[in-house]
């Protein structure tokens, strides 16, 4: 068994990790491939995925810090006799709320880089200073420049709820980034990274020579830990942990290649030895939940979205497709892809149990009018399910809807459409991280929801009625023969028909047919 090392929790500095005795997953092979196959790159990955550490690794590689790479893949294959000037800009720190603040920030960054390279600004404009910095660094060193931009989009993302400011900041960044293309003759290598991929028209119109490796199978694991990484590099940390649980909770992020774990999740798990939504708890944006509800998304179908390549790459202040937002921020990932003539279509899914349960729990709060009893009722649902106490379950679901403030449901348009009832119902089960299949299709039709739990199968059908229960939900389950698809699993099957009154805004019918 390898010797245990320190966990690099929150550390984004390659030098500190290598010199400080921390675990390190060797990503230098990706750096070599990038250098061999191109020059200008763009990579989008969700927050806390190791983008900054990879950029820092590139900075040390091009700077010629040979000692840091001993034992790594790049050490024997890199020309250490050449050192390149590196200009690294990061927008990760602080919150910029206006174009003026962005201008000040860029000025600070350029002043710092000018000082690092022993240069002085001779032109007044920011774009002119950046262009001069690149050219003079090349001339002074005799080697072309490496440009690295970290969190390139953060100033825009921080202002998505303030579109006017976001547009002004976007335009300011576009002016800066266009310099990279104009300075081609002086640049050896350029790499930009962030959470989102803003369209080339809006942000990269002056930098259309970037090679986007976001959805490239060869680079799917450029950030994050693979299954093999856990079994080798982190082998000492796995003792006492259920490998199936670790995989179910945290693995599954995929960009058409090898699936990976979020490093933040894995490291916090190894440290605390507890399964918790570590990544989700770190600043899931409120605007995301608000936007999903504003668009009246059908919650059960969120994890089964289908999107085109163009849609996933379409992200701008004026138009943010739901699928693109969820994919680029890491709440959905790629399940599969297929070629449709000249188009590529992607099927999306939740990456793992952490995101599935946590996002549904976050959606459940506003769906229920932020009722403080939601958490208590969710725990109660789990216990009732364990006991197969269907009478208690009916009472609980009736209480779910009855406890929603009347003013909230009356003033909130989302409560007017039929999918709302199914969304609340589904979100309660999903927030527990249970094995759910919404709208499961078979030869008989489309079942509203299937749940596998505790060695049993629960099949749900939902109906909206005007006032009194009509018994149509359970009858449809039987008439359509929805249970036939599940009989081969050799598990007890429970049929549950739930009916919601549009007028009373609550459960008015809850019929169950169980085996025996």
CATH assignment of the domain containing 128: 3.40.50
* H-type alpha helices, 93-187: 99-116, 126-141, 154-157, 163-182
Taking the C-alpha atoms of residue 197 and residue 465, their distance in angstroms, rounded to an integer, is 44
Quote the pLDDT of residue 515: 86
Residues 63 and 202 in one domain: yes
Taking the C-alpha atoms of residue 425 and residue 421, their distance in angstroms, rounded to an integer, is 6
311 within domain boundaries: yes
Q: What is the pLDDT averaged over residues 350-379?
A: 87
> What is the percent of the chain with per-residue pLDDT over 90, rounded to a whole number?
68
Number of domains in the chain: 3
241 within domain boundaries: no
Domain span including residue 302: 286-349
Quote the pLDDT of residue 416: 53
Output the domain CATH number for residue 390: 3.40.1350
Residues 332 and 394 in one domain: no
Residues 68 and 208 in one domain: yes
Residues 167 and 136 in one domain: yes
236 within domain boundaries: no
266 within domain boundaries: no
Give the three-class secondary structure for 418. Answer: coil
pLDDT in tens, 259-304: 999 999 999 999 999 999 999 998 666 788 888 888 888 888 899 9
Q: What is the pLDDT averaged over residues 80-94?
A: 95
> Which of 62-71, 321-330, 458-467 has the highest mean predicted lDDT (pLDDT)?
62-71
Identify how many contiguous H helices and E strands the chain contains and give both numbers. Answer: 19, 13
Q: Is the pLDDT of residue 60 over 60?
A: yes
Quote the pLDDT of residue 47: 92
Min mean pLDDT across 175-184, 196-205, 392-401 is at: 196-205
Quote the pLDDT of residue 320: 81
| Choice between 68 and 304, residue whose per-residue pLDDT is larger | 68
Residues 39 and 179 in one domain: yes
pLDDT in tens, 296-322: 888 888 999 999 887 787 777 777 888
Quote the pLDDT of residue 411: 52
Looking at residue 320, what DSSP letter applies?
B
Among 163, 185, 219, the domain boundary falls at 219
Strand partners, 261: 225
Residues 120 and 80 in one domain: yes
Taking the C-alpha atoms of residue 456 and residue 438, their distance in angstroms, rounded to an integer, is 17
Residues 51/45, Cβ–Cβ less than 8 Å: yes
Residues 55 and 124 in one domain: yes
Residues 52 and 174 in one domain: yes
pLDDT in tens, 485-495: 999 999 999 99
Min mean pLDDT across 54-58, 261-265, 412-416 is at: 412-416
471 within domain boundaries: yes
Q: How confident is the model at residue 505 (pLDDT cuts 50, 70, 90)?
A: confident
Residues 495/457, Cβ–Cβ less than 8 Å: no
Strand partners, 500: 464, 507
Residues 320 and 388 in one domain: no
Q: Is the pLDDT of residue 7 over 80?
A: yes
CA 289 to chain centre: 13
Quote the pLDDT of residue 258: 97
Taking the C-alpha atoms of residue 91 and residue 154, their distance in angstroms, rounded to an integer, is 6
Residues 177 and 39 in one domain: yes
Quote the pLDDT of residue 15: 98
pLDDT in tens, 374-413: 788 899 999 999 999 999 999 998 888 777 665 545 555 5
Residues 64 and 173 in one domain: yes
As to burial, measured by CB atoms within 10 angstroms (0-12 exposed, 13-18 middle, 19+ buried), residue 149 is: buried
Average pLDDT score, the chain: 90
Quote the pLDDT of residue 199: 60
Residues 298 and 187 in one domain: no
Residues 224/262, Cβ–Cβ less than 8 Å: yes
Q: What is the pLDDT averaged over residues 201-211?
A: 68
Taking the C-alpha atoms of residue 171 and residue 516, their distance in angstroms, rounded to an integer, is 67
250 within domain boundaries: no
389 within domain boundaries: yes
Quote the pLDDT of residue 367: 80
Task: Put the strands of the sheet holding 456-465 in their side by side order.
Answer: 435-442, 445-453, 456-465, 493-501, 506-513
254 within domain boundaries: no
């Amino acid at each position: 068994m390898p010797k245990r090392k320190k966990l690099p929790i929150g550390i984004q500095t390659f030098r500190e990790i290598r010199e400080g005795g921390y675990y390190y997953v060797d990503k230098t092979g990706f750096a070599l491939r990038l250098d061999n196959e191109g020059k200008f790159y763009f990579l989008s990955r969700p927050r806390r995925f190791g983008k900054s550490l990879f950029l820092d690794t590139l900075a040390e590689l091009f700077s010629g810090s040979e000692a840091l790479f001993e034992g790594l893949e790049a050490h024997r294959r890199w020309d250490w006799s050449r050192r390149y000037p590196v200009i690294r800009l990061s927008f990760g720190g602080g919150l910029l709320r206006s174009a003026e603040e962005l201008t000040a920030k860029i000025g600070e960054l350029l002043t710092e880089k000018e000082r690092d390279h022993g240069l002085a600004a001779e032109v007044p404009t920011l774009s002119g200073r950046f262009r001069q910095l690149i050219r003079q660094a090349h001339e002074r060193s005799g080697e072309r420049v490496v440009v690295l931009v970290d969190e390139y989009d953060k100033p825009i993302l921080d202002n998505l709820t303030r579109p006017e400011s976001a547009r002004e900041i976007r335009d300011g960044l576009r002016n800066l980034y266009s310099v990279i293309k104009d300075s081609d003759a002086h640049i050896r290598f350029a790499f930009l990274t962030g959470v989102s991929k803003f369209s080339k028209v809006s942000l990269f119109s002056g930098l259309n020579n970037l090679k986007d490796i976001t959805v490239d199978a060869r680079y799917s694991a450029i950030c994050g830990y693979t299954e093999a990484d856990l079994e080798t590099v982190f082998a000492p940390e796995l003792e006492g942990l259920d490998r199936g649980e670790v995989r179910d909770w945290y693995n599954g992020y995929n960009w058409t290649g090898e699936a990976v774990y979020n490093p933040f999740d894995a490291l916090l798990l190894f440290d605390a030895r507890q399964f918790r939504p570590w990544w989700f708890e770190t600043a899931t944006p409120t605007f995301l939940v608000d936007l999903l509800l504003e668009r009246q998304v059908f919650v059960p179908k969120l994890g089964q979205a289908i999107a085109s390549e163009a849609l996933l790459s379409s992200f701008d202040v004026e138009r943010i497709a739901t699928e693109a937002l969820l994919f680029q921020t890491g709440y959905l990932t790629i399940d599969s892809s297929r070629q449709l003539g000249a188009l590529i279509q992607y099927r999306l899914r939740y990456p793992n149990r952490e995101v599935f349960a946590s996002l549904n729990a976050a959606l459940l709060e506003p769906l229920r009018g932020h009722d403080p009893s939601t958490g208590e009722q969710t725990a109660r649902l789990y216990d009732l399910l364990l006991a197969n106490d269907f009478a208690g379950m009916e009472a609980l679901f009736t209480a779910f809807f009855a406890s929603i403030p009347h003013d909230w449901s009356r003033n909130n348009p989302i409560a007017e459409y039929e999918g709302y009832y199914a969304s609340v119902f589904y979100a309660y089960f999903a927030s527990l991280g249970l094995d759910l299949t919404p709208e499961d299709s078979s030869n008989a039709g489309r079942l509203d929801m299937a749940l596998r739990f505790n060695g049993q199968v629960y099949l749900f059908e939902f109906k909206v009625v005007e006032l009194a229960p009509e018994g149509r939900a359970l009858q449809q389950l039987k008439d359509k023969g929805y249970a036939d698809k599940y009989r081969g699993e050799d598990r007890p099957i429970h049929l549950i028909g739930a009916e919601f009154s549009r007028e009373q805004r609550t459960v008015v019918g809850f019929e169950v047919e169980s085996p025996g």
